[in-house]
Amino acid sequence: MNGAKATLYRWEDLPKEQLKPDLQRRLISAERVMLAHVYLEKGCVVPMHSHENEQLTYILEGLLRFTLGDESEIVDVAAGEVLHLPSLLPHQAEALETTLDVDIFCPPRQDWLDGSDAYLRRT
């Protein structure tokens, strides 16, 4: 055995970070992966951005509309569906309904950990 220890997390025990009035999140970050609950009120827009991190977005509740790449592709992702976003693909998201999604990033988003994610905090 390598001495590594397992860690149990409970979402309700994690702080909920208020990014702007209609957007909140909770984070779990490990050495090579990050998991986040993202809470979006209906009408919330996450502006167009890209990142090196590969991303999976799993919708637990609600409906998100993604605008991808050069804005020519629109994908609606509903509860029970997962969207894979490859590294560096520009994307924007709009909550068509109040939404709870699980975002998985590999590697972890350093900008989310250090608070330098200003694009998310604009109202």
- 39, 23 Cβ separation under 8 angstroms: yes
pLDDT for residue 3: 82
**How many C-beta atoms surround the C-beta of residue 76 within 10 A?**
13
pLDDT for residue 64: 98
- 49, 42 Cβ separation under 8 angstroms: no
pLDDT for residue 1: 63
* Cα angle value 8/12/16 (rounded, 5°): 110
How many independent structural domains does the chain possess?
Answer: 1
Instruction: Give the three-class secondary structure for 10.
Output: coil
pLDDT for residue 11: 97
Residue 33 lies in a domain: yes
Between the CA of residue 40 and those of 6, 24, 70, 71, 87, what are the distances in Å?
Answer: 30, 7, 24, 21, 23
Residue 11 lies in a domain: no
Could you tell me the residue range of the domain that residue 49 belongs to?
18-121
Provide the whole-model pTM.
0.94
**CATH of residue 49:** 2.60.120.10
Between the CA of residue 111 and those of 91, 97, 102, what are the distances in Å?
Answer: 16, 26, 18
Q: What string of pLDDT tens digits covers the 123 residues of the chain? A: 678 899 999 999 999 999 999 999 999 999 999 999 999 999 999 999 999 999 999 999 999 999 999 988 999 999 999 999 999 999 999 999 999 999 999 999 999 999 999 989 887
Distance CA 102, CA 14 (A): 14
